[in-house]
Amino acid sequence: MISVSVRGIAHIGRLLGKGDNTVFLPQGSRLSELLDLLAEKYGRPFEDTLYTGQGKELNKHTRLLLNGQDIAFLNGLDTVLKEGDHFSIIPPVGGG
């Protein structure tokens, strides 16, 4: 098994709980499997945040990062996870 830490920001953080959540997955798991696990644990509100409602099509406005990098510039949901990875879910806010 590998452990991956997960953190959500703002309303997503309130859904997942404060700080980092540690999730355990089998070796070789992909990001899609992590999302399935989180969806199972946190249910409909989590799915509504993440997906468009058309199957597992991701909302374009929710930002997903693995170790700080947008998953679009990795291998998307097929990205293979490794021990100690950090996964972040961030709503699209701006401003300063």
Partner 1 sequence: MIKGGYMGKILRINLTGQTYSEEAVTGKLAADFIGGAGFGVKFIFDEVPAKSDPLGPENKIIFAAGPLTGTSAPCASRMAVTAKSPLTGAVGMSLSGGYFPAEMKFAGYDAIIIEGRSDKPVYLWVNDGKVSFRPAEKVWGTKTFDCQQIIKDELRDQNIRIACIGPAGENLSKIACIINERRAAGRKGLGAVMGSKNLKAVAIRGSRQVPVADPEAFKEARQKMTEAMKQSPVLYSTFSHTGTPLVVDATCELGIFAAKNWSATGEWAPVEKLGLDANTARKIGRDRCYNCPVGCSQLKLARDGVYAGTLTEGPEFEAVYSLGGQTGVDNLDAVIAADRLCDELGLDNMSAGVAVGFAMELYEKGILTGEDTGGTELNFGNDGAMLDLIAKIAFRRGLGAVLADGVRVAAEKIGKGAEKYAMHIKGLELPAYDVRGAKAHGLNYATSYTGADHNRGYAFQELFGIPVPEAVDRFAYQGKGRLTKWNQDIRTATCDCPSMCAFILDMALPATAPQNTADMVNAATGLQLTPADVEAVGERVNNLARVFNIREGFTRGDDTFPERILTEPIREGGSKGCYISLDELNKMLDEYYTARGWTPEGVPTEEKLLSLGLEEAAALLKGSPE
Compare residues 69 and 75 and give the one whose CB is closer to partner 1: 69
For 48-69, b/e burial (b = at least 16 CB within 10 A) is ebbbeeeeeebeeeebbbbeee
Q: Tokens for 42? A: 């946190």
Compare residues 27 and 75 and give the one whose CB is closer to partner 1: 75
Q: To the nearest whole angstrom, how small is the minimum distance from the Cβ of residue 86 to partner 1?
A: 8
Interface contacts to partner 1, rule CB under 8 A? 7, 9-11, 13, 18, 59-63, 65, 67-70, 72-73, 86, 88, 90-96
Instruction: Quote the CA–CA distance of 68 and 52 in Å, as a whole number.
Output: 23
Q: To the nearest whole angstrom, how small is the minimum distance from the Cβ of residue 29 to partner 1?
A: 21
